[in-house]
């Protein structure tokens, strides 16, 4: 490991088996943090953990569907057994499921989409807050420009990410006296497994010619900056890597 910016810190990263979550988890570990890796796919979590451990870091893995309250409760019990505190919570789990217009949408998929992008972050945050309130910490919620502007189609994703932004602001107002900051990170278009076939690094996405499609590692500097701000640093704010108004 190469540095100590996050020495003695414990970071919980959701959706850390691939994409942005994996890139951020590896970067946090490189700076000395102990990692708690959470995702639905155990094989991907094990790959992330192996990379961290091979580089001299420390990581534990917990497989869970974070939209399921019972599984989140079990996850929290496992976290409590292995660490006394969480210093950084990186709420990254999410994805787009129902892309149809409202009239043509599947209600079950629409609700599932909102749950993946909003309810999961609420459930994890609610469960982990007691491990942060005594010593303070950072909560970083991965949002989207689609949560700040309307558009036809993918309404569930718009609504879920809009809720994430409002959750960020409400929560920040509730926990600042505990030394906890809560901010939103908007990555802009990123080439991941979820966008395969539609985006490639270095080019524009199909919906915005001014944009530059990033790789997951391009999101790391902003995530690290937010994770290393002082307790009196920014809170209730949205920080964006986009190249267009949102």
A 10 A CB-CB count for 79 gives 21
pLDDT of residue 180 exceeding 80: yes
Which pLDDT value is given to residue 1? 46
- Model confidence at 3, in pLDDT bands (50, 70, 90)? confident
Answer whether 152's CB lies under 8 Å from 212's CB. no
pLDDT of residue 104 exceeding 60: yes
**Using CA atoms, how far apart are residues 106 and 85, in angstroms rounded to an integer?**
40
Which pLDDT value is given to residue 83? 95
DSSP string, 74-123: HHHHHHHHH-S--SEEEE--------S-GGG--HHHHHHHHIIIIIHHHH
Which pLDDT value is given to residue 114? 97
Structure tokens at 73: 């409760």
Would strands 238-240 and 180-186 be described as parallel, antiparallel, or unpaired? parallel
Full set of structural domains in the chain with CATH: 10-239 (3.40.50.720)
Per residue in 62-101, pLDDT (tens digit) is: 999 999 999 999 999 999 999 999 999 999 999 999 999 9
pLDDT of residue 206 exceeding 90: no
Which pLDDT value is given to residue 142? 98
pLDDT of residue 52 exceeding 60: yes
Average pLDDT score over residue span 106-117: 97
Tell me how many helices (H) and strands (E) the chain has.
7, 7
Average pLDDT score over residue span 113-136: 97
Average pLDDT score over residue span 154-175: 98
Structure tokens at 236: 């209730």
pLDDT of residue 174 exceeding 70: yes
DSSP string, 30-83: HTT-EEEEEES-HHHHHHHHHHHHHTT-EEEEEE--TT-HHHHHHHHHHHHHH-
pLDDT of residue 32 exceeding 90: yes
Q: Which residue has the tokens 């217009």?
A: 101
- Model confidence at 140, in pLDDT bands (50, 70, 90)? very high
Closest to 37 measured CA to CA, from 84, 78, 95: 78
pTM: 0.95
Structure tokens at 151: 């558009």
Q: Which residue has the tokens 């985006």?
A: 199
- Model confidence at 44, in pLDDT bands (50, 70, 90)? very high
Per residue in 191-205, pLDDT (tens digit) is: 987 777 788 898 898
Catalytic residues: 157
- Model confidence at 2, in pLDDT bands (50, 70, 90)? low
The DSSP output letter for 224 is H
Answer whether 86's CB lies under 8 Å from 9's CB. no
Q: Is 6 helix (H, G, I), strand (E, B) or coil?
A: coil
């Amino acid at each position: 490991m190469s540095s100590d910016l996050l020495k003695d810190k414990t970071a919980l990263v959701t959706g850390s088996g691939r994409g942005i979550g994996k890139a951020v988890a590896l970067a946090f570990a490189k700076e000395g943090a102990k990692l708690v890796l959470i995702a639905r796919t155990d094989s991907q979590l094990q790959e992330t953990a192996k990379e961290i451990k091979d580089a001299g870091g420390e990581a534990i893995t917990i497989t869970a569907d974070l939209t399921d309250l019972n599984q989140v409760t079990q996850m929290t019990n496992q976290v409590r057994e292995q660490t006394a505190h969480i210093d950084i919570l990186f709420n990254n789990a999410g994805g787009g499921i129902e892309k149809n217009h409202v009239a043509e949408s599947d209600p079950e998929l629409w609700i599932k989409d909102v749950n993946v992008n909003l309810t999961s972050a609420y459930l994890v945050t609610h469960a982990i807050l007691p491990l942060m309130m005594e010593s303070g910490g950072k909560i970083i919620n991965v949002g989207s420009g689609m949560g700040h502007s309307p558009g036809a189609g993918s309404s569930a994703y718009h609504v879920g990410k809009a809720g994430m932004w409002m959750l960020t602001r409400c929560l920040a107002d509730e926990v600042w006296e505990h030394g906890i900051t809560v901010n939103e990170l908007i990555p802009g278009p990123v080439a991941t497994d979820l966008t395969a076939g539609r985006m490639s690094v270095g080019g524009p996405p199909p919906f915005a010619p001014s944009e530059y499609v990033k790789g997951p590692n391009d999101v790391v500097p902003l995530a690290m900056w937010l994770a290393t701000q002082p307790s009196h640093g920014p809170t209730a704010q949205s920080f964006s890597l986009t190249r267009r108004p949102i």
